[in-house]
Structure 1
Amino acid sequence: MLFVALAVMLSLVVSAVVALYVAYPHRGEQMPVVPWLGDALGRAVESAPVLADDERDLQRLG
């Protein structure tokens, strides 16, 4: 039972972080209460690898 409660809490925390990211840093706005969290999320997204348009087209053909 404890495992289920911890799993639910973890999923709620992750979904809250995703919702905050979509609401503020993804649109280029600063988070009003916790700006350090917005900065951290922005740095994490900038460091993630992204496929360019031409690479995406090559993957569709392959």
Structure 2
Amino acid sequence: MLAVVVVMVVIVVIAGLVAAYVAYPHRGEQMPGTPWLGDAMAKAADAAPLLPAEDDEMYDLRGDLEESERRH
């Protein structure tokens, strides 16, 4: 029973951190009351690796190909 309570508390804390990140640092704003937490979240987000954008190559979102290249 104690393990379930501890896991649920951890889940709620993680969900709260995600909500706080989306509400403030993700939009480029300072968190009120705890600016150090917003700075730490922004640094962690900047350090996280990103996947390369493949959609523009796969689906030709740039629109710079000629008609003959689009058919192949």
Is the shorter-chain TM-score for this pair beyond 0.5, marking a shared fold? yes
- Once the two structures are TM-superposed, the CA of residue 56 in structure 1 deviates from its matched residue by 8.4
1:8 and 1:56 map into 2 onto residues whose CA distance is: 40
TM-score by length of 2: 0.73
Matches within 5 A, 1:1-62: 1-54=1-54
2:56 and 2:17 map into 1 onto residues whose CA distance is: 28
- Once the two structures are TM-superposed, the CA of residue 53 in structure 1 deviates from its matched residue by 1.6
Structure number with higher relative contact order (C-alpha < 8 Å, ≥ 6 residues apart) = 1
Structure (1 or 2) with the greater helix fraction: 1
Flag the 1:46–1:14 CA change in 2: closer, same or farther, 3 A: same
Gaps of 5+ in 1: none
Counterpart code for 2:24: Y
Gaps of 5+ in 2: 59-72
Larger radius of gyration: 2
- Once the two structures are TM-superposed, the CA of residue 52 in structure 1 deviates from its matched residue by 2.6
TM-score by length of 1: 0.84
Identity of aligned residues (%): 48
Q: In angstroms, what is the RMSD of aligned CA positions?
A: 1.8
